[in-house]
A and B are shown apart, each in its own frame.
Chain A
């Protein structure tokens, strides 16, 4: 038995023109072993917006980000950044990894980490001059970590480490900022400092995409959301895409009904 579906059409192979979105993902599938972590996801980031990628644990949020950055290899799919392949646009992307991804016992100072953000312009052998140091110090200042420049990174608290990572991303002076759970396990002061920096980036016309965990702060912090649970669930402005239905659909049974009620009340 078959079913006629008006929407089933032939495949058109011609191109529809270049998508110049800061981050455009088409048909991305990433799998670890035999289970896809991200399945057939499309995403078009809004320029100059702050977008939260949200979804339950293990929904593929970080994987999506890492695949977008070319850190993990996708099974299928394409990524373009400002209309060009990722490799050509490296200079325009800054990435803030999860804090737990590095060895904090590494022998280096806070300032050295921020200077890593300048390595593209320094090249292999370029000397670090006073203006580079001044810029790195300025980035540290923006995240409130100026006084810690000479500390060994292992001596910082979790929140301070996160701010140093953010300062490194600022030093890259990119157009697209991708952050992986910057608020995970940080203190309230750090959360405030980070969100202030992100909002200032947005005001400067930059695009910010953040993997985010805390549903309660989504409406305060972000203007766009991208809901994912292996597949894309919803994408759009907070008011339209962050609703009780989309949350139910993304989190399924995992989010208690009471929580959803609470959030939908908060949404008005």
Chain B
């Protein structure tokens, strides 16, 4: 495909999809190792009510209030889950189930109650995103990458997700050591003065921010695939955390690119006429990669000797 076609129509969705996948996969590695993978599930479900509330408060679809609303909803959800878990003495899975379904239901209800017909905010879009629409109409070819005027017309989602990815990377690098130690051995981490509670919360907030930024592109449910599948697949490939992170980034990129391409051109190759959902395809591809690594990965089985030897 020529640059005239690729750059305006495919470059930005591809980049956004890839950045989103990586931004979610990085914290996802720790969530999976901490057996908190479903926190990702909970977060992604409450993004919707967060955005709706932000919309109701500001009356406009603008980026920052919605990001804040969603991040706020994620924090509220995590606090509620902890409160219900501790105060009600309920296992974490059930506590999560109570909280995120309720908040999601609240979001849907609010959405139905509000007149959002004039704005681009509907349940289906929120559920499975609209990656294909994030095109760069001002571009005419590769040369546009150097054209300031054209660059100004980039979809705002791209700088937003790029910034988010940068933030997530910074967090991961900066807190690498405490994150690793407290994920492996929380008790020990506390004895050397790591504030494990605060760090755990920071991880969840980072994941929430990644989820919010990815939300536009892939919707709230498929974000879960980004959180879980690449790290889970990477887990089957190596026994070192550093290498696992590398694999997860590779798998995230691979899912995003192959998913986008297959969604756009797969139906054409099969003789169909129209593209299918890119976000759905990205999730499907990440599942496929997970399946392959679960069957063939060199480190797919548990290495740990049973604890009571």
Contact = CB atoms under 8 A, between A and B. Distances in A.
- On whether A and B touch (CB less than 8 Å), the answer reads yes
Interface of A: 66, 69-71, 87, 90, 93-95, 97, 99-109, 112-113, 116, 119-120, 122, 124-125, 152-158, 168, 172, 185
B174 A125 contact: yes
Nearest to A152: B239
A260 to B, nearest CB: 28
Contact of B305 (A97, A119, A156): A156
A115 B244 CA distance: 19
B192 A108 contact: no
Nearest to A169: B188
Given A107-B240, A158-B305, A122 B177 contact: yes
B185 A102 contact: yes
B187 A101 contact: yes
A255 B308 CA distance: 24
B205 interface: no
A168 B187 CA distance: 14
B192 A90 contact: yes
> Chain A CB within 10 Å — which of B173, B181, B302 has the most?
B181
B191 A90 contact: yes
B193 A120 contact: yes
Interface of B: 33, 173-175, 177-178, 180-181, 183-185, 187-188, 190-193, 235, 238-241, 243-244, 302-305, 307-309
Contacts of B188: 95, 97, 116, 168
B190 A106 contact: no
Given A70-B190, A71-B191, A120-B193, A107 B239 contact: yes
A95 B187 contact: yes
A109 B240 contact: yes
A154 B304 contact: yes
Given A90-B191, A124-B177, A101 B185 contact: yes
A119 B190 contact: no
A124 B181 CA distance: 12
A100 B307 contact: yes
22 contacts: A66-B187, A69-B187, A97-B185, A97-B187, A100-B307, A102-B184, A102-B185, A103-B184, A103-B304, A104-B304, A104-B305, A107-B240, A109-B239, A109-B240, A116-B181, A116-B185, A153-B304, A154-B302, A157-B309, A158-B305, A172-B192, A185-B308
